[in-house]
Every structure is written in C-alpha cells, then in structure tokens.
Chains A and B, each alone.
Chain A
Amino acid sequence: MTRPLPALPLRFQRAAAAGLLAAVLAIPALSGLTATPVLAQETPVKGGVLNSIVQPEPPTLMLGLNQQGPTQTVAGKIYQSLLTYDQKLNPMPSLAKSWTVSPDGLTYTFKLFENVTWHDGKPFTAKDVVFSTNVFLKEVHPRARAVFSRCESITAPDDYTVVFTLKEAFPAFLQSFEVSSAPMVPAHIYEGTDFRANPANATPIGTGPFKLKEWVKGSHIQLVRNDSYFKPGLPYLDGITFRVIPDAASRSLALESGQVQQTQYSDLEPFEVPRMKTHPNLAFSTKGYEFVAPMSWLEINHRVKPLDDKRFRKAIAYAIDRKFIRDKIWFGLGRIPTGPINSVVKFYDPKVTIYEPNLDKAKALLDEMGLKPDAKGVRATVKIMPMPYGETWTRLGEYLKQALGKVGIAVTLESTDAAGWSQRVANWDYEITTNFLYQYGDPALGVARTYISDNIRKGVLFTNTMGYSNPKVDALFAAGAREVDPAKRQTLYSEVQQILSDDLPVVWLLEMEFPTFLDKRVKNANTTAIGVNDTYEDVWLAAK
C-alpha cells in the first residue's frame, strides 16, 4: 500500500535540493519510490463509504480547540496542516508544496499549494497560515503555543509564501506542522471573534478532502467528500462514517461482523487483538503511530521517601518483568523500552543501562538502602494508582502489586476515575502511578518536557510531575533543542539517554503500540506516521 506518486516527487525533490536539509528530505522521496510493492498495479476505484468507530465521542471537531485522540482521527479528514510525515518521520507536503530552511536554522520558508479552498469556497492563502499560527493557535492550543512562541516573526510576503523566523534555532520546528499540532483554521471565520465561543465551531470549515455532513450526538459522525478538493480526482471515497460505540465488546462485534471496516488506537481492548488477528477479512498493523510514539512508564513521585532514592527505583525496575507485561497484559502489543526515547523517534540510542528482571539485584539494592524485611517480609510500602484508562491498566496494577511484593515492596492499589487521576497527578498527590505520553517525533517536543526542571509546574498535567531535577540533563536537553547539526544533536541526546537510564526518574514500561485493523477491501489507508489521523484523500474501497 502506498500513496500515489503524483502528489509527491517533482516539486518535492526541487524543494529538497534547494533546502539545506537535503539529506533528511531526500528520504521520503526514496521511501515513496521503494515502498511501491505488489498493490501498485491495483487501480483505485471511486465511491463507497468507509465505516469506522469514534470512541470516546469528542466534545467538538474543531481541531484547533481540541486535540483529543478521537477528534484527531475524525477532524484529520476535515482540517489539514502544512505538512504530514512518512513513517520514518520525514516531512511530506500537505498544504505546503515545498519548504526551505536557512543554513543557520532560523528561517523556515513554506510555499503553499495555490488552488486550495476552504469548505465554504473561500481561497486558502498565506494569510490563513499567519492567522492560524500567530494568532489562533497561540491563543488556544497548548503545544502550538509552545512552538510558535519561539518565532520572532511570522509573515506572508505573498499569498502563497509564509516565512517563520525563529528567535533561536529549533530544528524540531519542522516536526511541528502535523495536523493536530498546527491545524490551519480559516481567518475569515475566526479573525476578531471569541474563538472558543464561535458558533462556527459546530460546523467545522477546513480545507480537507472530507466535510462534516451530520453529527448525531451519541450515534455517529458522517463525513462526505469535498467535491472541490484541490487535488483533482481526490478523494476516492464518497464519505466516511464514524460510529459511536461505547462498549468495548460491542466494538469487537462491530469489527468482526464487518459493520465497521476500521478500528484504531484503543478501540479494541488488547485481549481482543489476538482473536481479531486471525480474522480472514482483516489486516492488522501497528504502524501509523510513529508520530505519537507513546511511551508508558511507572511515574514515581520523588517527593516521597524512599522513592527519591534511585536505588529504590532501580530495585523496582529489576523486580518487574516487562516482557511479561507486554506479552500477558498487552497481548504482545508494544516494544520493551531501553530508555526515555521511543525507538521509532529520532535520536534514539540503545546504548544505555538496561534493567533485565533480576530479583536478587532488586533485593540487594534494597538491602543496601537499609530496607530490611520485617516479620512479614515487607521492606517498604508504596501506593500505586493505575491510570483509569480501562481494564488493561487495572490488570497492570494487579501485576505490579504481585511483582513488587516478591522483593518485599508491599503495594496498596488506589482506584480513581479520569478526573480524579488528573487532579491528583497534576497536584503531585500520588506515590506511584502509570502514565504515558506522546513523543511527537522529536525529543525536543515530546521527551524533554518530562525530565527538565523548568517543567516542574504544580497543577499542570504531563509536566515533570515527578519533581526530578538534574542540571546536567537540563543543559543537555536545552543544547539538543538548539543544535542544528544532526550528528551533534545525536551526541547530546545519547548522553542524556545514558544519564536518564542511570538516574531512572521513571521506570519505563512499554513503547506502546496501538492496533489498527482494516478490512482488506480498504486500500491505501494508514501509510504515514499519523496513520488513521491522516486525510484519507487517496484511500479507496475495493469491490466486495
């Protein structure tokens, strides 16, 4: 399965030759060519409606205002950003047909496609890009705010050129134009309004290949093809329907019986996956999540003794068997992590301290700390609050209780719901919890935030809630974010990975993989680093 070539190569290679990042940019063109196997002979047919699931039902489809997972999957068909990314995380054209980066890494110039229109017929121009990045997203979008506030200026020299000038070099900038990171929103609708209260939020206007036709709350969201999409002949599909199916068992039934042709992210519980994999009509893949590249870990509050002692955290790491967790709790979904960076993310380095299961080492470390077993064999008691994100996380909590019990760490499990969990973790009111964060393709975007001391901010989720602080780590992440030379960046990030794997601020559990199931009739889907969140402009349905 591949994206059709016409959209890619010529303009794109010109851009690559012009840009300094030629080495990096050449890869997608190559992979676009090499990944053209058997299926390329099949001729796409027009028509048909793809049925999928949206779960949980999002509050809104206005992607600029809400970046919840399900919002992204649906709204990724309605809205677009300047770029998308191949599965090696190299940028590819979306609304921008080409781009260049100045040698000092300070100026990014994007050329836009010229015949793009919004769903209401108004032309999409550089003015919309400047408004989106400089005004709208900066006001309402947390991740985009962090990225675009690095800009000295954002200007539009003409209708189809946008120039971003950075205050200091930030090579991860090119990874920031994925559709949920920087969705383009129409200036003519939002300019000068109260963005969150704008009535247009109920009827999203994007540039994408699909438009919202109907959203019956609690039932389904129906998208239909955008006949004036800027790529002639696309999209192939007449529409996409996302059904709201709140019960996990019913979702499996829907997929199994062919009532939906696609499931993604956490639609299916991991224990359903082995059974679905044997279904003759379904294709299974864990690709398409390279951009989010989730990493899960045991989050440990360093403000609580003895959790502040890295020997204790190492004892935990030796006491648990992550292969067991992956195989028996996640039913084979995921990879065993080595350090803080997911192995599909740039600058990953496997040369770090590795923790294989070893109960003797764990006990020795606890002995060294002076934590001797009492009459009941208990050395220390900790509270673990598993994430309230479904059955699997609860099972993980139960496993941890058993595993840590074996080395004399008694575990009290605490239960909570999503709101309570958020409240307690953000306010550091926990001892150990499980957590997972997306890494967004670059350590500067998705990894550093968890470990740098600047990001210890009470009341805010997904920050350095552990309270870990190491000036060396801070300095390395800061230098890595600025360094333009990829080789030098690698050196910086390799060093930080070594330090973190020894300090062990958290115990990494799993590089999470999500299962995507597609009916074998669905062609060309799930080809990029954002997989099911991409536009589906060239997805088509083969005849039954």
Chain B
Amino acid sequence: MLGFAQLFASRLVKALAILIAIVVMNFFLVHAAPGDPAMVMAGEAGAADEKFVAQLREQFGLNRPLYEQLATYVGKIAQGDLGFSYRQQRPVWSILAERLPATLILTLTAFALALAAGVALGTLAAITVGTWADSAITVVALLAYATPIYWIGLMMSLLFSIQLGWLPAFGYETIGAGYTGLAHAADVAQHLVLPVVTLALFYMAGYARLTRASMLEVRGQDFVKTAKAKGLTPTRVVTRHILRNAILPVITVAGIQAGQLVGGSILIETVFAWPGIGRLAFEAVLQRDYQVLLGIFLVTSVMVILFNILTDILYGLVDPRIQAAR
C-alpha cells in the first residue's frame, strides 16, 4: 500500500508542474488571437469612439504589459481565485459554478449511458460475431459514429418534440413553472432525454466498436480455451475471462473522455440550448473573454489530470498484473 501512496504522490507532483505549464501556455495562446474583449464589445455596441475602447481596456487591465497581466493572473490562480470576467462583471468561479451542474448532469448521464450501452452492445456483437445481430450492432454503431452529432440532435428534436410532441425541444427546465423537489427533477429529466441520448449515441458507438474488437482479440487466446475446457459456463467465460481482459482499452479511452466531461459539449449544448460550459467556452472564445476561457481551460485540465490518475488506479483494480509490474 505504501507503493500506492508513493505513486499517487509522485503523480500529483507531476500534475502540478503540468498544470503550471498549462496555465502559462493557455494565457499566451488566448492573448495571441487578434482583437481583444474591448474591441469585441465596441463592435457589438456599434460604438464608434476612442474613449469607449480606452475605458474598457483600462477597466479590464488590458492596457498593462502582457507579462504584468500574466503575473497578476498566476498570482490569483495560486490563491485559488479564477479571476474576474469584466464582460459579465462577475467572478469567473461563480460563472462556472452556475454552468457546471447543467453540464455535469448532461455529460455524466450521457457518459454512463454510453459506457453501459456501448460495452453491452459490443459484448453482444462479439459473442454473436458474424450473425445478423452483430451486423446490426456494427451498422448502428458506425452510423451513430459517422453522422454529425448536431444533425442527429436536430432530427431527434424534430421528431420527438415538433412532430410527436413528447419531449421538450430545448432548454434545461420549464421556465416560470416554479417546480420544486420531485416535480422539478422530473421536469429536468424530461428536458434531459434528447440531449443525453444524442450525446450518448456518439460515445456509445465508440465504446461498442472498441469492446467488440478487443473481445474478438481476447477470445482467441489460450486462457479462454482453458476456461472453456475446464467446463465453465459460457456466461462466466465471457464476463470473468474475456470481458475482464478485453475491457482495458475501453477504460483507457473512457478515462480520457471522462476528463473532458466538464468541458461539456459545444454542439449538443448549442442545438438544445442547454446552458452548459461548452457553450460558455465557445462564446468566451468569440468574445475574447480571456479570464472565463482560461478558467474553463484550467478546470478542464485539472479534471483530465485527475481522471488520468483515477484511470491508472482503476487499471490496477481490474488487472492486478499492472500493479505488480510497477
């Protein structure tokens, strides 16, 4: 267990170094784009005078040298302060905190659904390889993977909310309904169905294909033959022997994708008017809202790093040989 703690600590130290590099690089990256938030706001407002832009630049601190701005920013980050969005006149953390729940509920639900359905379908396809069931699953997965996600979204909303009227087409909740408690949860769940299914379809396709390929590879190995030879039931062979060995690549990919969940999904959030982080990031790019953008980058980076560490731990649990090899 000491080894585990050591591993964890050394990973944390490395993560910290990576994080500092990310903050500095991102800072220069966002400032390298042409234009600045003051110019964007002048453009939006049709403001045609020097004073307007000058006032904004001064208020935003953009008139100071870049290194000074960086120092201020890093200083704030070190104190756990993500900065201030001058465009929205609010602290970045409160803006993110407002958007995070909507994003997490969307991406986590979709992720869980995609992982469960993907692994199940992939397994099913692998054990029925060559039959119609396998072909059907492969075709569906390929279609879901290849079709633009926003198009699927629009078509689903056209069918289920405009034509059939079963589900709301967009938004997070019914505005002005004032639901509380269970009624509120049911309301949000209703709004959640279409975006979650759309997003999950895409990821599910990836997991299904990956699981199928990996299982087919493992299926032919000697230990599977042994397992079968010693008379285990087919179910036990599949779950305990094939799947457990085949699941590692799926965990790798899922780990990477889980880290990106907090980043939201720009396309889904846009099509379904879902008030999440993805759209916030996209708008922040266009508006050159530097601090918001950097804040999102930072939070996403932290999550990616955390999930990478988690994935490593999970490897060890699923496959003890990896732990031993260290």
- The interface residues of chain B lying within 8 Å CB-to-CB of A196 are 55, 59, 89
* B273 and A246 contacting across the interface, CB-CB below 8 Å: yes
* A457 and B50 contacting across the interface, CB-CB below 8 Å: yes
* A59 and B41 contacting across the interface, CB-CB below 8 Å: yes
- The interface residues of chain A lying within 8 Å CB-to-CB of B312 are none
User: Which residues 58-99 of B sit at the A interface, judged by CB distance below 8 A?
Assistant: 59, 87-90, 95, 98-99
Q: Given A196-B59, A422-B42, A250–B170 Cβ distance below 8 Å?
A: yes
* B87 and A422 contacting across the interface, CB-CB below 8 Å: no
A499 within 8 A of B: no
What is the minimal beta-carbon distance from A170 to any residue of chain B, in angstroms?
17
Distance of A201 Cα from B59 Cα, bound (Å): 15
* A243 and B46 contacting across the interface, CB-CB below 8 Å: no
* A142 and B49 contacting across the interface, CB-CB below 8 Å: yes
- Counting chain A CB atoms within 10 Å of each CB, which of B87, B89, B102 scores highest? B89
What is the minimal beta-carbon distance from B95 to any residue of chain A, in angstroms?
7
User: Which residues 439-464 of A sit at the B interface, judged by CB distance below 8 A?
Assistant: 449, 457, 459-463
- The interface residues of chain A lying within 8 Å CB-to-CB of B287 are 59, 418-419
- The interface residues of chain A lying within 8 Å CB-to-CB of B219 are none
- The interface residues of chain B lying within 8 Å CB-to-CB of A217 are 88, 95, 98-99, 275
- The interface residues of chain A lying within 8 Å CB-to-CB of B40 are 418-419, 422
* B48 and A461 contacting across the interface, CB-CB below 8 Å: yes
* B41 and A66 contacting across the interface, CB-CB below 8 Å: yes
* B175 and A249 contacting across the interface, CB-CB below 8 Å: no
Stretch at the interface among A107-115, A251-259, A313-321: A251-259
User: Which residues 61-93 of A sit at the B interface, judged by CB distance below 8 A?
Assistant: 66-69
B249 within 8 A of A: no
Could you mark each residue 40-54 of chain B with 1 if its beta carbon is under 8 Å from any beta carbon of chain A, else 0? 111111111111110
- The interface residues of chain A lying within 8 Å CB-to-CB of B234 are none
What is the minimal beta-carbon distance from A299 to any residue of chain B, in angstroms?
14
* B273 and A421 contacting across the interface, CB-CB below 8 Å: no
- Counting chain A CB atoms within 10 Å of each CB, which of B52, B90, B150, B269 scores highest? B52
What is the minimal beta-carbon distance from B270 to any residue of chain A, in angstroms?
5
- Counting chain A CB atoms within 10 Å of each CB, which of B49, B169, B279, B288 scores highest? B49
* B43 and A460 contacting across the interface, CB-CB below 8 Å: no
A-B contact count (CB 8 A): 163
What is the minimal beta-carbon distance from B157 to any residue of chain A, in angstroms?
6
Distance of A314 Cα from B325 Cα, bound (Å): 77
Stretch at the interface among A218-226, A274-282, A341-349, A528-536: A218-226
Distance of A217 Cα from B175 Cα, bound (Å): 13
* A241 and B154 contacting across the interface, CB-CB below 8 Å: no
- The interface residues of chain A lying within 8 Å CB-to-CB of B33 are 419-420
Interface of B: prevailing SS: helix
Distance of A259 Cα from B171 Cα, bound (Å): 11
A216 within 8 A of B: yes
A189 within 8 A of B: no
* A256 and B45 contacting across the interface, CB-CB below 8 Å: no
| Residue in chain A with minimal CB distance to B85 | A59
What is the minimal beta-carbon distance from B127 to any residue of chain A, in angstroms?
40
What is the minimal beta-carbon distance from B151 to any residue of chain A, in angstroms?
10
Contact check: which of B39, B102, B154, B175 meets A423 at CB < 8 Å?
B39
Distance of A134 Cα from B267 Cα, bound (Å): 46
Q: Given A217-B95, A245-B273, A250–B50 Cβ distance below 8 Å?
A: no
Q: Number of contact residues on B: which range applies?
A: 35 or more
Distance of A196 Cα from B280 Cα, bound (Å): 22
Distance of A438 Cα from B95 Cα, bound (Å): 33
What is the minimal beta-carbon distance from A50 to any residue of chain B, in angstroms?
12
* B286 and A460 contacting across the interface, CB-CB below 8 Å: no
Q: Given A196-B59, A419-B288, A420-B34, A216–B49 Cβ distance below 8 Å?
A: no
Q: Given A142-B52, A418-B40, A459-B50, A250–B162 Cβ distance below 8 Å?
A: no
* B170 and A245 contacting across the interface, CB-CB below 8 Å: yes
Could you mark each residue 149-162 of chain B with 1 if its beta carbon is under 8 Å from any beta carbon of chain A, else 0? 01000100110011
- The interface residues of chain A lying within 8 Å CB-to-CB of B39 are 419, 422-423, 426, 461
Contact check: which of B169, B276, B280 meets A254 at CB < 8 Å?
B169
Distance of A68 Cα from B52 Cα, bound (Å): 14
| Residue in chain B with minimal CB distance to A446 | B46
* A420 and B35 contacting across the interface, CB-CB below 8 Å: yes
| Residue in chain B with minimal CB distance to A420 | B34
Distance of A401 Cα from B40 Cα, bound (Å): 27
B36 within 8 A of A: yes
- The interface residues of chain B lying within 8 Å CB-to-CB of A421 are 35, 43
A60 within 8 A of B: yes
* A60 and B276 contacting across the interface, CB-CB below 8 Å: no
* B279 and A253 contacting across the interface, CB-CB below 8 Å: no
User: Which residues 247-283 of B sit at the A interface, judged by CB distance below 8 A?
Assistant: 269-273, 275-276, 279-280, 283
- The interface residues of chain B lying within 8 Å CB-to-CB of A418 are 35, 40, 43-44, 286-287
B176 within 8 A of A: yes
What is the minimal beta-carbon distance from B188 to any residue of chain A, in angstroms?
12
What is the minimal beta-carbon distance from A82 to any residue of chain B, in angstroms?
21
B27 within 8 A of A: no
- For this complex, 30 residue pairs linking A to B, each with C-beta atoms less than 8 Å apart, are A59-B88, A59-B89, A60-B89, A67-B45, A140-B52, A143-B47, A143-B48, A145-B51, A197-B89, A202-B89, A202-B90, A217-B99, A218-B102, A220-B171, A220-B175, A222-B176, A241-B175, A243-B171, A243-B273, A246-B273, A250-B270, A250-B271, A257-B161, A418-B287, A419-B37, A422-B40, A423-B34, A424-B34, A460-B49, A462-B47
Q: Which 10 A-B pairs have the closest CB atoms?
A: A419-B35, A218-B275, A462-B48, A423-B35, A420-B34, A422-B43, A142-B47, A219-B275, A68-B44, A142-B49
Contacts from B to A (Cβ < 8 Å): 33-37, 39-53, 55, 59, 87-90, 95, 98-99, 102, 150, 154, 157-158, 161-162, 169-173, 175-176, 269-273, 275-276, 279-280, 283, 286-288
Known A56-B283, A59-B88; further 9 A-B contacts with Cβ < 8 A? A59-B89, A59-B287, A69-B44, A142-B45, A142-B48, A196-B55, A219-B273, A257-B162, A419-B288
